[in-house]
């Protein structure tokens, strides 16, 4: 498996510094948070996109994904959501990134009818986006998150889409918060799985990010399941420092996280 980290852990850091961290600690790739406060976002012009591509190639680091914030299950008109997804797909294509991350965003506390409506809305939008993404050789991945946090939730959406350019990003924290065991999550997600986001937290009531291995998430079990099933994709450490002021700075623990993941991979081989 290849290892990456998300720029969410180092918000606003210039690309040169991001790449220095990646190369210094042996990460194969980087997930780019696509937000206007970041160096790379959909508002970049063609020259800036080309500069980013050159910088990554020069460093020998891959761009794993463009992590956007489109919410494909959110109520409202389709057009603004699809425009946002298309802009993310264009950015990923220009950067040579294989994946775009989107969120469900269907809302909290949905009853059965509202959940079915959110599933249908998300599937419809992803089906339209899939054709656009296919023309640009990009896969749009629905993250296990918020209204669709488990593998079962996400598969209800992407299964009916039935398009190779739509898949799922497995965020192991959210499936765990949803009460799903890693083996169950993998079984639901494996036909659609793009890559896996790993992280660690103190508990369900305190999701402040911790160094990998310092919390309660079943990371060893997740890696063991992936290895046992012969999955050979990307593990990406998403350290959510952007949202937690008390979180330790990522650069100081990045090397330890890389070593922890390498040890899990060796133990599960």
Q: Is residue 220 part of a domain?
A: yes
Q: Is 249 helix (H, G, I), strand (E, B) or coil?
A: coil
pLDDT at 108 (0 to 100): 86
Give how far the C-alpha of residue 19 lies from the chain's centroid of Cα atoms, to the nearest Å: 19
Q: What count of other Cβ atoms lies within 10 Å of the Cβ of residue 192?
A: 24
DSSP calls for 6-19: EGGGSTT--HHHHH
Give how far the C-alpha of residue 22 lies from the chain's centroid of Cα atoms, to the nearest Å: 17
Judge whether 147 and 118 are in contact, CB under 8 Å: yes
Q: Is residue 263 part of a domain?
A: no
Q: Is residue 143 part of a domain?
A: yes
**Rounded to an integer, what distance in angstroms lies between the CA atom of residue 131 and that of residue 94?**
17
Q: Is the pLDDT of residue 59 over 80?
A: yes
Q: Is residue 154 part of a domain?
A: yes
Nearest to 193 by CA among 239, 238, 225, 146: 225
Q: Is residue 66 part of a domain?
A: yes
DSSP calls for 192-233: TEEEEEE--EEETTEEEE--TTSSSS-HHHHHHHHHHTT---
Nearest to 236 by CA among 208, 199, 262, 185: 199
Q: Is residue 256 part of a domain?
A: no
- The stretch 199-223 carries a mean pLDDT of 97
pLDDT band at 13 (very low <50, low <70, confident <90, very high): very high
Per the structure, the complete domain to which residue 213 belongs is given by: 2-244
Q: Quick one: what percent of the chain has pLDDT higher than 70? A: 100
Q: What tens digit of pLDDT does each residue of 84-112 get?
A: 999 999 999 999 999 999 999 999 888 88
pLDDT at 38 (0 to 100): 97
Q: Is the pLDDT of residue 48 over 90?
A: yes
This model's pTM is above 0.85: yes
Q: Quick one: what percent of the chain has pLDDT higher than 90? A: 97
Indicate which CATH number applies to the domain containing 208: 3.20.20.150
Count of the separate structural domains present in the chain: 1
Q: CA angle, 84 as apex, 43 and 27 as ends, to 5°?
A: 65
Q: Is the pLDDT of residue 269 over 80?
A: no
Judge whether 56 and 63 are in contact, CB under 8 Å: yes
Q: What tens digit of pLDDT does each residue of 60-80 get?
A: 999 999 999 999 999 999 999
Whole-number CA gyration radius for the chain? 17
pLDDT at 268 (0 to 100): 87
pLDDT at 110 (0 to 100): 86
Q: Is residue 225 part of a domain?
A: yes
Query: H or E segment at 69?
Result: strand 62-71
Q: Is the pLDDT of residue 228 over 90?
A: yes
Q: What count of other Cβ atoms lies within 10 Å of the Cβ of residue 223?
A: 24
Beta bridge mates, 161 = none
**Rounded to an integer, what distance in angstroms lies between the CA atom of residue 63 and that of residue 65?**
6
pLDDT band at 196 (very low <50, low <70, confident <90, very high): very high
Q: Is residue 267 part of a domain?
A: no
What b/e sequence results for 108-133 when a residue is b if at least 16 CB atoms lie within 10 Å of its CB, and e otherwise? Answer: eebeeeebeebbebbbbbbebbbebb
pLDDT band at 83 (very low <50, low <70, confident <90, very high): very high
Q: What tens digit of pLDDT does each residue of 102-146 get?
A: 999 999 888 889 999 999 999 999 999 999 999 999 999 999 999
pLDDT band at 234 (very low <50, low <70, confident <90, very high): very high
Encoding tokens for residue 97? 């990134």
pLDDT at 180 (0 to 100): 98
pLDDT at 19 (0 to 100): 98
- The stretch 229-250 carries a mean pLDDT of 95
């Amino acid at each position: 498996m290849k290892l990456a980290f998300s720029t969410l852990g180092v918000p606003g850091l210039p690309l040169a510094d991001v790449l220095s961290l990646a190369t210094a600690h042996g990460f194969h790739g980087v997930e780019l948070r696509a937000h206007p406060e970041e160096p790379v976002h959909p508002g970049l012009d063609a020259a800036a996109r080309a500069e980013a591509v050159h910088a990554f190639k020069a460093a020998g680091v891959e761009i794993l994904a463009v992590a956007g914030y489109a919410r494909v299950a959110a109520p409202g008109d389709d057009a603004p959501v699809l425009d946002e997804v298309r802009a993310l797909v264009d950015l990923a294509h220009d950067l040579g990134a294989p994946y775009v991350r989107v969120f469900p965003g269907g809302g909290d506390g949905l009853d059965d009818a509202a959940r079915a409506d959110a599933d249908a809305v998300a599937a419809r939008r992803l089906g339209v986006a899939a054709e656009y993404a296919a023309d640009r050789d990009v896969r749009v991945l629905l993250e296990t998150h918020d209204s669709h946090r488990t593998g079962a939730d996400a598969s209800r959406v992407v299964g009916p889409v039935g398009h190779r350019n739509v898949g799922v990003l497995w965020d192991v924290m959210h499936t765990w918060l949803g009460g799903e065991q890693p083996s169950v999550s993998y079984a639901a997600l494996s036909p659609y799985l793009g890559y896996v986001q790993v992280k660690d937290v103190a508990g369900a009531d305190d999701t402040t990010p911790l160094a990998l291995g310092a919390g309660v998430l079943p990371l060893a079990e997740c890696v063991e399941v992936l290895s046992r099933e012969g999955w050979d994709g990307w593990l990406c450490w998403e350290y959510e420092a952007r949202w937690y002021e008390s979180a330790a700075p990522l650069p100081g623990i990045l090397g330890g996280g890389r070593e922890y993941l390498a040890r899990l991979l060796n133990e599960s081989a």
